[in-house]
Amino acid sequence: MSIARKFTWALAACLSMGSAIAATATESFVSGTGTLDFMSNEFRALRLLGISTTYQLPDGNPLPVNAAQYSLLTRSATLTFDGGTISAIDGKASFSAGNSQLALLAGRAQEDEYGTPDYELPLLINLVALRNISFDLSDASISADITSYTGTTDALHLASSFGRLTVFKAFTPITDGTQGLVIDGQVSGSTASGLRLTDEGADIVLTELYAWSGQPLDKEAPSSLYVLGKTMSWGVASATGTFSSSVVPEASTLSLMLVGLLSITAISRRSSC
């Protein structure tokens, strides 16, 4: 092979290899934390709702380690995220907290034969458990796996499993920080305007918490627990997270790289002949 032809082959190989350097940068989740702050919850102020992350639920499938922690002093639940993704549509992040469990509880005294509350008997309990909580900064929503329990403080039993649903959604888009966008590997944002129950969330959560002895909730009266629970702010949520960048060649550039390698191999073989 002439020197000119070898040079042409080598040049073609180098151009192919050079083209293959073009690649896409991907963001990988590293870590993150979030909070659900229930300080603005009117049900808390009226002592109609309890919140716990330590309740042991009798469904035969307890969480090995609850990643959520709740502070009675600050009325805030803290989540440790174990996963995160970035939306291809708007570039905003969403986070998941696997093995997280937040219990919403409502209690009332049992009544004697005359309809008078008997506080010497165990309290009646309705409980809604939010598990594997996730926070989507694209639409400012909180989702979870939902199960409900009923019974007394001495003996709770599983009532219903509802699967996964969006429980809360903010009045307005995410604000503060980076507004949910990943900038230099960092993302942050909060629901400054507060969280409301979604329609499906309200039907399940409020009914399971406050429909005692099978009595349906009044969904029309402005002062009813259902209307109050559906229209009020249940609190605010915030999240921060870290992503790392990595460069991954696109499929088309990988094929160009292969052409370049094959060209170099062909030149080497021909030169040795």
Size of the chain, expressed as the number of residues it contains: 273
Question: In this structure, is the dihedral angle defined by the CA atoms of residues 183, 187, 189 and 195, taken in order, positive or negative?
Answer: positive
* pLDDT at res. 182: 95
CB 102 within 8 A of CB 68: yes
SS3 content of the chain, % helix, strand, coil (to 5): 25, 45, 35
Per-residue pLDDT of the chain (273 residues; tens, 9 = 90+): 555 454 444 445 444 444 444 555 578 999 999 999 987 777 777 778 899 998 877 765 566 678 899 998 888 999 999 999 999 999 999 999 998 999 999 998 888 878 788 888 888 999 999 999 999 999 999 999 999 999 988 888 999 999 999 999 998 999 999 999 999 999 999 998 789 999 999 999 999 999 887 778 889 898 888 999 999 999 999 999 999 986 555 555 545 555 544 554 555 555 555
* pLDDT at res. 24: 52
User: Cα separation of 178 and 21, whole Å?
Assistant: 31
* DSSP character at residue 20: H
- Residues with Cβ within 8 Å of 192's Cβ and at least 6 positions away in sequence, in order, are 172, 175, 176, 236
List b or e across 256-265, with b for residues whose CB sees 16 or more CB atoms inside 10 angstroms.
bbebbeebbe
**Domain assignments of the chain as residue spans, ordered by start:** 1-22+250-273, 24-249
**C-alpha distances in angstroms, 161 versus 121, 147, 204?**
28, 4, 10
pTM for the structure as a whole: 0.79
* pLDDT at res. 271: 55
Among 258, 185, 206, residue whose Cα is nearest residue 32 = 185
* pLDDT at res. 212: 85
Reduce the DSSP state of residue 210 to 3 states and report it.
Answer: helix
